[in-house]
A and B are shown apart, each in its own frame.
Chain A
Amino acid sequence: MADREFGFETRTVHAGSRPEPTTGARATPIYQTTSYVFEDTEAAAAYFNLQEYGNTYSRIMNPSVAAFEERIANLDGGAGAVAFASGLAAQSAVLFTLLRPGDHVVCSSALYGGSVTQFKHVLGKLSVGLEFVDPDDLEAWRGAIGDNTKLLFAETIGNPGGNILDIEAVAQLAHEHGCPLMVDNTFATPYLCRPLEWGADLVVYSATKFLGGHGTSLGGVVVDSGEFNWSNGRFPVVADPSPAYHGLAFHETFGVYGFLTKLRAETLRDLGAALSPFNAFLLAQGVETLPLRMRAHVANAQTVAEFLQSHPMVARVTYPGLPDSRYRSLVEKYLPLGCSAVFCFDLPGGREAGRRFIEALSLFSHLANVGDAKSLVIHPASTTHRQLNDQELTAAGIGSGTIRLSVGIEDAGDLVWDLEQGFSALEAAP
Chain B
Amino acid sequence: MSDNQWQDPDIIRGALKLSRIAIVGLSSKELRASNFVARYMRYHGYEVVPVNPAEKEILGLPCYPTLADIPGGVEMVDVFRQPKLVPDIAGESLAIGAKCLWLQFGVISEEGANIAAQGGMDVVMDRCLKIEHARYHGRLHWLGLNTGNISARRSKPD
* Given A252-B33, A255-B106: A6 touches B8 (CB 8 Å cut-off): no
Query: Is B154 touching A21 in the complex (CB atoms < 8 A)?
Result: yes
- The A-contacting residues of B in range 114-158, CB under 8 angstroms, are 128, 131, 134, 138-158
Number of A-B contacts (CB under 8 A): 118
**B152 to A18, Cβ gap below 8 A?**
yes
A70 touches B147 (CB 8 A): yes
Which residues of chain B are within 8 angstroms of A55 by Cβ–Cβ distance?
Answer: 142
Q: Residues of B contacting A43 with CB < 8 Å? A: 43
> In the assembled complex, which residues on chain B have CB atoms less than 8 Å from the CB atom of A77?
146
The reply to whether A10 and B145 form a contact with Cβ atoms under 8 Å apart is: no
User: A21-B154, A78-B146, A256-B105 in contact; A53/B134 too (CB < 8 A)?
Assistant: yes
| A interface residues, tally (CB under 8 Å) | 55
Q: Please, how many angstroms separate the alpha-carbon atoms of A325 and B133 in the complex?
A: 50
Task: Tell me the bound Cα distance from A15 to B131 in angstroms.
Answer: 18
**The residue from A2, A11, A248, A255 contacting B9, defined by CB atoms under 8 A apart:** A2
For B131, list chain A residues within 8 Å (CB). 257
Known A-B contacts A52-B40, A65-B144; the reply to A24 vs B31 at CB < 8 A is: no
Complex Cα spacing A77 to B145, Å? 11
Taken together as a complex, chains A and B put the C-alpha atoms of A236 and B147 apart, in Å, by 28
- Asked if B61 is at the interface (CB within 8 A of a chain A CB), the reply is no
A24 near B8 with CB under 8 A, answer no
Chain B, range 50-109, C-beta contacts under 8 Å to A: 105-106
For B2, the closest partner residue in chain A by CB is A2
Enumerate chain B residues within 8 angstroms of A15, measured Cβ to Cβ: 146, 150
Contacts A78-B146, A83-B144 hold; do A14 and B139 have CB atoms under 8 A apart? no
Interface residues in B5-34 by Cβ distance below 8 A to A read 8-10, 30-33
* CB-defined contacts of B128 to chain A, threshold 8 Å: 255
Check if A61 sits within 8 Å of B142, measured CB to CB: yes
How far in angstroms is the closest Cβ of chain B from A242?
10
**B157 to nearest A CB, angstroms?**
4
Across-interface contacts of A21 in B (CB, < 8 A): 154-158
By a CB distance below 8 angstroms, the chain A residues around B157 are 21-22
Please list 21 pairs of residues, one from A and one from B, whose beta carbons are closer than 8 Å in the complex, sorted by A's number: A6-B150, A18-B153, A21-B156, A21-B158, A22-B157, A24-B154, A53-B142, A61-B142, A66-B144, A74-B146, A80-B143, A80-B144, A249-B31, A253-B32, A253-B33, A255-B33, A255-B105, A255-B128, A256-B105, A260-B144, A264-B143
9 more CB-based (< 8 A) A-B contacts, given A2-B8, A3-B1, A66-B141: A2-B1, A61-B143, A70-B141, A74-B148, A77-B146, A81-B146, A253-B33, A254-B33, A257-B131
